[in-house]
Amino acid sequence: MHVKTYIAKLIDLVELEREAEINAMREEMRRLRGYEREKLGRAILNLNGKVIGEEFGFRLVKYGRKEPFKTEIGVGDLVLISRGNPLMSDLVGTVVEKGNRFIVVALEAVPSWALRNVRIDLYANDITSRRQIENLKNLSKSGIRALKFILSQEKPTKSTSQEFEPFDRNLNPTQRKAISLALGSEDFFLIHGPFGTGKTRTLAELILQEVKRGNKVLATAESNVAVDNLVERLWGKVNLVRLGHPSRVSKHLKESTLAFQVESHERYRRVRELRNKAERLAMMRDQYKKPTPQLRRGLTNKQILKLAEKGRGARGVPAKDVREMAQWITLNEEVQKLYKFAEKIEEEIVKEIVEKADVVLSTNSSAALEFIKDVEFDVAVIDEASQATIPSVLIPIAKANRFVLAGDHKQLPPTILSEEAKELSETLFEKLIELYPDKAKMLEIQYRMNEKLMEFPSREFYNGKIKADEGVKEITLSNLKVREPFFGEPWDSILKRGEPLVFVDTAGRGDKWERQRKGSTSRENPLEALLVKEIVERLLRMGVKEEWIGIITPYDDQVDLIRSLIG
């Protein structure tokens, strides 16, 4: 297949998936009443708002109500604000804070209707799709070359080991080998990082080594959480900047964001002064009549100003109104000049920060932002590459001379809603590792779990190559200094401290069956939810800390049921 044909195909697939996502959201909004959507956690009704301040150029509105609410909507989510019918609104904001009776949303502008008796809906946005399509339509040589590799139209060069002095002295041999080969790759390299093998730690070391060699690095991932993990490991060790909406960045990492660094720059004081002056003048301007089409009756700004000088009216517009409109035009020109000047200084600050940074970090999608449009990177390092579609990873790849992908194609691929676009679930990582296995290195030592828990996935998916680090090989609750269970059977057997894996069989129970809520496609199992509650309560009484406990279930309704039981 020709590269151009393949790109056209990818654009079609992205369009299909974009359509499926928007249709799914709109269909649910159309099908369900507001209170039903709130019950599912995807809407909050009967909210009143109040502007509480400004941050990074956005107005912050705190919405609340007397009755508490439970919702899936979280910090960083895009939301749609409406008065009753969300399908009729285009007011979109980003959640920056959430409590059980309030939610704070960052908005570019706040219309007066948006402060009383509104509803907030979780929103599917198409910004990411638009960025992917734009990138595909103008794909750089680097992006085209990556596609030529998977289409077998170009062969990659051999990766050769490079000597390096690690910053992190505790790297294991497979981590060192992966970094060594990645450094010695002229085009691309793949780091295969199964569960708990220290993939992020390996990438952080690789980035530090690239910077040491004088290279400018673009580091990305599909999710904000993964980008934050990289920022956490690199902060204070290199000059870095984190792109993206500040509300989507962990609070303690706000200083890494471009917005924070811009506002902390010595020249930003001048930007504030200019904007404050513009706002004061805008208030003065708004005391005069605005020259709307109805008022100006075809008169141009130039004509209005000339008539005002002569103290005359025209076309049935009284001289008094002409004079007022002239005042509005004069002040508005000054307001616009001030805003443009402020914007120019801000752009210069942004350019300076990005140019000085050794490492720029963002999600794959945010790598399409205007701030780095003309910046050339020596290498793109992309985490979670096996969870990202080809159009997604092509955004950072297109901006660098070479790339390193890290991921695990043995785990779940990207979720694709459209049946017609299922091909998008085949990732670049998976295609490259199948075609060029010698361009990949697997990390083989895991630091997360007891050997017994690791044994099955290692054997079934990784040819038995994964080994447990000595520090976790035999780890159980006994090592965490928790008390022995003291509840009698069956709980003492279920919660036995030295047992890393326990199955609780409910096959003999008459109340074992799952059920579906009315109007829901999800499922729940009351018996199993109750068992989870009982187990968690007893673990806490044994001295296990809340933050040590994770509960996983495949169904949203089961998550909701368990949450309602354990609080």
Domain co-membership, 456 together with 307 = no
* Residue 28 or residue 213, greater confidence: 213
Domain co-membership, 121 together with 38 = yes
Domain co-membership, 156 together with 232 = yes
pLDDT over 70 at 49, yes or no: yes
Is the residue at 193 inside a domain? Answer: yes
* Residue 75 or residue 104, greater confidence: 104
Question: How many residues are given for the chain?
Answer: 567
Cα–Cα distance list, 540 to 287, 312, 530, 565 (Å): 64, 83, 16, 15
pLDDT over 90 at 165, yes or no: yes
Is the residue at 414 inside a domain? Answer: yes
Domain co-membership, 310 together with 379 = no
Tokens of 201: 């730690």
Domain co-membership, 290 together with 426 = no
Mean pLDDT value of segment 385-406: 97
Closest CA to 131 of 366, 312, 410: 366
pLDDT over 90 at 486, yes or no: yes
Burial profile 140-162: b = 16 or more Cβ within 10 angstroms, e = fewer: eebbbbbbebbeeeeebeebeee
Q: Confidence band (pLDDT; 50, 70, 90) for 29?
A: confident
Task: Report DSSP state, residue 514.
Answer: -
Q: What is the mean pLDDT of the chain?
A: 93
Mean pLDDT value of segment 402-429: 95
Mean pLDDT value of segment 384-395: 97
Mean pLDDT value of segment 259-286: 93
Closest CA to 218 of 389, 347, 393, 391: 393
Domain co-membership, 153 together with 226 = yes
Tokens of 255: 């200083």
For the chain, give me the number of helices (H) and strands (E)?
Answer: 18, 15
424 close to 414: Cβ distance less than 8 angstroms: yes
Is the residue at 25 inside a domain? Answer: no
Mean pLDDT value of segment 205-222: 98
Report the C-alpha gap between 136 and 145 in whole angstroms.
13
Query: Can the peptide bond before residue 490 be classed as cis, meaning omega within 30 degrees of 0?
Result: yes
Instruction: Tell me what pLDDT residue 247 has.
Output: 67
First-to-last alpha carbon distance for the chain, in angstroms, is: 55
Is the residue at 177 inside a domain? Answer: yes
Read off the CATH number of the domain in which 107 is found.
Answer: 2.40.30.270
Q: Confidence band (pLDDT; 50, 70, 90) for 168?
A: very high
* Residue 520 or residue 129, greater confidence: 129
**448-478: per-residue pLDDT in tens?**
999 999 999 999 999 999 999 999 999 999 9
**317-360: per-residue pLDDT in tens?**
999 999 999 999 999 999 999 999 999 999 999 999 999 999 99
Question: What is the number of domains present in the chain?
Answer: 5
Is the residue at 16 inside a domain? Answer: no
Final residue before a domain boundary, out of 73, 94, 125: 125
Domain co-membership, 344 together with 381 = no
Final residue before a domain boundary, out of 401, 422, 443: 443
Element (H, E) at 380: strand 377-382
Residue spans of beta strands (DSSP E) within 7-74: 43-55, 58-64
Domain co-membership, 297 together with 334 = yes
Final residue before a domain boundary, out of 94, 125, 156: 125
Instruction: Tell me what pLDDT residue 541 has.
Output: 95
Domain co-membership, 420 together with 373 = yes
Q: What is the pTM of this model?
A: 0.83
Our measurement of the distance from residue 305's CA atom to the centroid of its chain's CA atoms, rounded to an integer in Å, reads 49
pLDDT over 80 at 249, yes or no: no
Instruction: Tell me what pLDDT residue 500 has.
Output: 94
Instruction: Tell me what pLDDT residue 26 has.
Output: 84
Instruction: Tell me what pLDDT residue 533 has.
Output: 96
Domain co-membership, 120 together with 198 = no
Domain co-membership, 322 together with 372 = no
Our measurement of the distance from residue 192's CA atom to the centroid of its chain's CA atoms, rounded to an integer in Å, reads 22
Read off the CATH number of the domain in which 170 is found.
Answer: 3.40.50.300
Instruction: Tell me what pLDDT residue 429 has.
Output: 98
Instruction: Tell me what pLDDT residue 529 has.
Output: 97
Which stretch of 102-116, 117-131, 139-153 has the lowest confidence by average pLDDT?
117-131
Task: List the beta bridge partners of residue 379.
Answer: 217, 402
Domain co-membership, 173 together with 227 = yes
Is the residue at 133 inside a domain? Answer: no
pLDDT over 70 at 309, yes or no: yes
Mean pLDDT value of segment 383-390: 97
**113-125: per-residue pLDDT in tens?**
999 999 999 987 7
Q: Confidence band (pLDDT; 50, 70, 90) for 136?
A: very high
Is the residue at 17 inside a domain? Answer: no
Tokens of 545: 């800390």
Mean pLDDT value of segment 298-306: 93
Is the residue at 2 inside a domain? Answer: no
535 close to 551: Cβ distance less than 8 angstroms: no
pLDDT over 70 at 546, yes or no: yes
**What type of residue sits at position 288?**
Y
360 close to 377: Cβ distance less than 8 angstroms: yes
Domain of 301, in residue numbers: 268-352
Helix axes of 141-150 and 390-397: crossing angle, nearest 10 degrees: 140
Residue spans of beta strands (DSSP E) within 270-335: none
pLDDT over 70 at 15, yes or no: yes
* Residue 327 or residue 55, greater confidence: 327
